[in-house]
Amino acid sequence: MIGDGTRCVRGGGHDEPAVGEPVHRGPVLTSTFHLGRPEQAEAGTDFYARADNPTWREFEAAVGALDGGECTVFPSGMAAVAAVLRAFAGRERGVLLPSDGYYVARLLADEELAPLGVPVAYCATAGDWARAIAAHRPGLVMLETPSNPGLEVCDVRAVAAAAHAAGAVVAVDNTTCTPLGQRPLELGADLAVASDTKALSGHGDLLLGHVSAADPVHHERIRGFRTRGGAIAGPMETWLALRGLGTLDLRLARQADNARALALALREVPGVRDVRWPGLHDDPSHALARTQMRRWNGVLRFTLPDVHAVSGLLARSTLVDSATSFGGLRTAADRRARWGDAVPDGLVRLSCGVEDTADLVEDVVGALSGR
Ligand SMILES: *Cc1c(COP(=O)(O)O)cnc(C)c1O
């Protein structure tokens, strides 16, 4: 089995390229394709770019191979989450979601699905999922692990087993890990969903998402929903994400190194509480995370006394951007209470970039220490 770096670089490529073909194919920017004469119609060829196009296929081949399933690309992470909810949460048996995951997924369920009569229920990521599944009998169980922003972890194998025993479809939002960090389909989930806006594309210059399915029937359902729903990714964004994917292994390695160094350093800084990163050997999530994550992620969180302390950090730091989103090249801090997450006012989600570790630690610790 070839390694992560090789798979990222070679993913989506052609096995036997023809002489004279470009080594790097650009995005295919066309809405429509030559059909030929009516009697020449051939199944499987491109005809209209809402249904399929060659740039999607390259991206989906690369990401699907990493996820271990069949991939469908979407124009954002939320478009991918929405497709899963609309395709698998019905009026009889609704959806069970994490109460502490990405907040827009909750808004989507509460504001768009519940009014249509779809039952919506919640369970904390680190809570008792078997009990919640037994109580609510959902048709779809959606997990997010590690969760954003809390970095809590749940046991994908155990929840998938309980959900399947109750006849539910299981989806895992894998955004914080990327397919290099965790393979939900190998852990028993039916669907892996992600915002590729974050580390997967990795340069903070586009929005994109995807759903990978283990079962071809689920895959066809998701694809059909995309074609009919019409929320489709632009070939330019898809191609940029494919280009970013080539360096995912390198970026993730540096981001995780930076996260580890910062997590350890932050614990020693007075006034910094509750530093959480699953890669720390004594983090409450570590023992479980080790059994299902393949490598560590680049996002951590900690809590400062109040908003002013967060302001001070941002004012004194020269390497930390005040920005939301994560997984990019530059380190960014986001005070999550600002977005309405039910977290302390001073909780900071820190997305570690690919700066030199020593520079970053000196900058952040210095800024927190009033230097
Ligand atoms: C950002 C994010 C999303 C939404 O993705 P967009 O690309 O912003 O639409 C969904 N889930 C998680 C865990 C995220 O972090």
Ligand 1 center from residue 195 Cα (angstroms): 5
Cα–Cα dist 123/265, whole Å: 32
Q: Which atom of ligand 1 is nearest to the CA of 325?
A: 1
Q: What mean pLDDT is reported for the chain?
A: 96
Residue located nearest, by CA, to atom 2 of ligand 1: 195
Is the pLDDT at 285 greater than 90, yes or no? yes
Ligand 1 center from residue 191 Cα (angstroms): 16
Confidence of residue 17 (pLDDT cuts 50, 70, 90): confident
DSSP E strand stretches across the chain: 70-74, 95-98, 120-123, 140-144, 169-173, 191-195, 209-213, 273-276, 299-303, 321-322, 332-335, 347-351
Q: Residue 138 — φ and ψ, nearest 5°?
A: -70, 155
Query: Averaged over 42-71, what is the pLDDT?
Result: 94
348-362 pLDDT, tens digit each: 999 999 999 999 999
Confidence of residue 253 (pLDDT cuts 50, 70, 90): very high
Confidence of residue 232 (pLDDT cuts 50, 70, 90): very high
Query: Averaged over 285-308, what is the pLDDT?
Result: 97
pLDDT at 28: 96
Cα–Cα dist 321/328, whole Å: 11
Q: Are 236 and 29 in contact (CB under 8 A)?
A: yes
Q: Which residues contact 102 (CB under 8 A, 6 or more apart)?
A: 77, 81, 144, 147, 148, 173, 175, 195
Ligand 1 center from residue 371 Cα (angstroms): 34
> Where along the chain do the CATH 3.90.1150.10 domains lie?
248-368
Q: What would the CATH number be for the domain defined by 248-368?
A: 3.90.1150.10
Q: Which residues contact 81 (CB under 8 A, 6 or more apart)?
A: 102, 104, 105, 108, 142, 173, 193, 209
pLDDT at 14: 65
User: How many residues are given for the chain?
Assistant: 371
Is the pLDDT at 36 greater than 90, yes or no? no
pTM over 0.95: yes
Ligand 1: list residues with CB < 6 Å.
76-78, 81, 102, 144, 148, 173, 175, 195, 197-198, 207, 209
Cα–Cα dist 233/51, whole Å: 11
> Where along the chain do the CATH 3.40.640.10 domains lie?
4-245
Residue located nearest, by CA, to atom 7 of ligand 1: 77
**Percentage with pLDDT > 70 across the chain:** 99
182-228 pLDDT, tens digit each: 999 999 999 999 999 999 999 999 999 999 999 999 999 999 999 99
Q: Which atom of ligand 1 is nearest to the CA of 78?
A: 9
Query: Averaged over 319-331, what is the pLDDT?
Result: 97
pLDDT at 371: 77
pLDDT at 172: 98
Q: How many whole angstroms from its chain centre is CA 231?
A: 18
Cα–Cα dist 338/346, whole Å: 10
Ligand 1 center from residue 193 Cα (angstroms): 10
Is the pLDDT at 42 greater than 90, yes or no? no
Domain spanning 4-245, CATH class: alpha beta
